[in-house]
Amino acid sequence: MAGREMKILDTDYIVVGSGIAGLMSALHLSRHGRVLVVTKKERAESNTNYAQGGIACAVAAEDSFEAHVRDTLEAGAGLCDGEVVRAVVSAGPAAIAELERLGIVFAGRAASAGGGYDLGKEGGHSRRRVLHAGDITGRHVETVLLERAHAEPNIGILEHTMVIDLITTGWLGGPDPNRCVGAYVLDRISGEIAAVRAPYMVLASGGGGKVYLYTSNPDIATGDGVAIAWRAGVPIKNMEFIQFHPTCLYHPRAKSFLISEAVRGEGAKLADAAGRSFAERYDPRGALAPRDVVARAIDSEMKATGAPCMFLDIRHKSERFLRERFPTIYATCLRYGFDMARDLIPVVPAAHYFCGGVAAGVDGRTALEGLYVCGETACTGLHGANRLASNSLLEAVVCARAMAERLGGERPPREFNAPAIPDWECGRAVTSDEAVVVEHNWNEVRTCMWDYVGIVRSDKRLERARRRLGNLREEIRQYYLDYLVTADILELRNIAAVGELIVRSAARRKESRGLHFTLDHPGLAPGPARDTVIEDRPWHQS
């Protein structure tokens, strides 16, 4: 930045992330002021875009809010916040109606004379209640919301831009109370660092599946929002609960392509290479047990037999049905040599969804004034120790509205007294000639997390992970200080930070609950279930 004044972008609301949580937040907030959406890749690249299953909502006559609440609480293994569950579930029909007003069409809606839906059933649900758009629900939702955001004059979208750290009045040396006033950002293409400034900021940057070696998530899912909030001193909750999706396509070129849970909802069985069903030995619900149970069952079978994968068997369904219900999955499997109507489909578990995150209310409010979170970045208490399938998109839509309603009643942005933002200090940092170190550390963090902090854990494995991540984070910190900032080092810095949060949280939980299963503490701890909360002092730019 030497010899040049740093650019500062001013707006009323900053939204980080362009998935369903970010775009719904932006659309709602645009009624109150100017919104700048910051996204680190192309605007359509998000976890939402890859969501196949759909949105869970009690809309059928034979369903009820009570049944949906009960299923959510059961999947959450005693750690859900009951009030939050009821608030989100009961707001579901209004959320669906809102999406439809925006132009989203769910399967069965347009063709049904009675106005009903073609509802899917997924693991942990006692009823068919998953609204979908075939097997590309997320892509359909993302496309429609982007069109709406593009047409809204109050919304600007800043692509290929990555947040480095939050800017707070506490860090600037201002008076109490401490509040978020913006962030430093990196243009991934030019390498220029700028600041964005606003009275309100929403982190909706998704999850962190890339912390693990095998994941269903796209490359952008590096836990940025959680890491950024943690560095600013915001409490982080329940990071030990990582949902491993049981069925990702096992093929060296498939890049962990997800086989939707809806396939099991339509009758697919879990089987070994000989076609023998095994899930029923682990749970009477078989392949439709909650994801933590199914993932552990597959993991157990693979370890017991030495097999590199297990299989999905839906050969009892016709080719016509499979092509119509799962066109994308069918075509993708066929491209890799598997005909769903005739072949077993090889699958393995992979890191999929974070039930923990930045501690927040349904309205997104955090402990740091001016900072809100929405979607997978947030931990509202809805999911508890294990997310019920397809509750995530529902949470994003409901919470985005609640957050915008709260902010609509806050101090108007025009009354915001914008503080001076100092130029980004590069110090003696130089251009790196050791980029290979970033790649090596990236692989080492992810391998360490997969080997020691995966589906089945132990005290010894967690201690090994703690030591290794501690050494790696010190190397990464020094690299970050010595060299000019790049997107690669920022993502590495974030996955290492998130990895440490997962390990610390897992080590504190001396029991097996939901998605956290440990060999040393196989049962539930006595007494009421407790959240794991990590709250550290702010440590910006280190």
Active site amino acids: 291
- Listed residue (16, 441, 465, 514) closest to 224, CA to CA: 16
Neighbours of 126 (CB within 10 A): 14
- Gyration radius from the chain CA atoms: 23
Backbone angles phi, psi at 495, to 5 degrees: -65, -30
First to last CA, the chain: 19
- List of residues 6+ apart from 306 with CB closer than 8 A: none
Other Cβ atoms closer than 10 A to 115? 8
Cα dihedral 317→323→326→329 (10° resolution):
100
Q: At what angle do helices 487-508 and 459-482 cross, to 10 degrees?
A: 150
d(CA 229, CA 232): 5
Q: Output the six-digit token pair for 333.
A: 């499997």
For 485, list phi and psi in degrees, rounded to 5: -70, 135
CA torsion, points 410, 17, 5, 539, in degrees to nearest 10? 80
Residue 485 and residue 487: Cα distance in Å, rounded? 7
